[in-house]
Structure formats: structure tokens, C-alpha cells
Amino acid sequence: MQDAITAILNRYDLTGRYLDKVAVGQIESFFSSGLERVKIAEIINNQATNILKEAAAQLYEEQPELLRPGGNSYTTRRYAACLRDIEYYLRYTSYALVSGSTNILDQRVLNGLKDTYNSLSVPIAPTVRSIQLLQEIIEEELDLQSIERKDIIQEPFQHLINALSEQDL
């Protein structure tokens, strides 16, 4: 896994260049947002169970057909697998948040997801919606705790949403 600093340094090392104003600005931004990223990760950690319950409740309220016979969350096993996946997205987005890089999402979540979901006939739209719900719930919690830097949380969630939306799953 690469963090934001490692990614910047690797990019400049590969081209044999010194850090320029752009790189220094990116590094400054990473460090200046560090405390907010850690606070948000702590909120996610402390509220993970509630965030997951709320996201699942909203998803199944919006798309009850998922729970009906023939739906992708029908049966206890499939329902549990869906909840496991939602938790997986939340956990890995918190890692990306702390590292300031979406690299871990590419490596640990997105690579191979297409093949897995195709083999299991998992529909992508409810998956994308569950990730959107996670983001919305966390943003609401940030509002309650008067944390203004929602842009920090948006990057990893939007990276997942955009990548999954682009894939032909």
C-alpha cells in the first residue's frame, strides 16, 4: 500500500526530478489535513456498527426486492455476505482516508472485484448505492460533530463509486 507521500516521491523518483511546487503543495496538503483525517477515521471506527446498520437499513428500505426470493440478499447466507461486503468497503475507505491515497482501494478492493461479482451474479447498482449511503451517513455524523472537511471523506468513497460505475459488472 502506498500513502500519499510515497506516491508523490515515487512519481518524482521515477522521472529523476526534484520536488517542485506542485509536489511540495501536495505534501503540505497531506500533512495539514492529517489531524482531520485521523479524527474522521476515529469517528468511523467508533461508529462502524451503527454506520453499517443504517446503510443496510436504508438500502433494503429503498430496494426491498433484494430481500425477496430471487433477490441477491435473499437467504441468510447471501444477506450476511452483503453486509460483510458493505463492512469491507467501509473499512478500506477508512484506510484510504488515513493514508491520503486511494491506492489501497485499487489493490485490495477493486482489483478482481469484477470477476468475483460476475461469477456470483452480484448486481453492481445496489453495491454502488450502499457505498453512497455509507458516505452520506458519515457526512451526517461529521455535521453532528462540527467537522467541516467533508472533501476528505468524499475522495475514497467517490473513487470506489466511480470505479465500480465504470466497470461492466
User: Residue positions in the annotated binding site for (2R,3E)-phycocyanobilin?
Assistant: 72, 77, 82
- Cα-Cα-Cα-Cα dihedral sign, residues 79, 95, 117, 165: positive
Asked if residues 159 and 102 have their Cβ atoms less than 8 Å apart, the reply is yes
The CA distance from 136 to 30, in Å, is 23
Helices (H) and strands (E) in the chain, counts: 8, 0
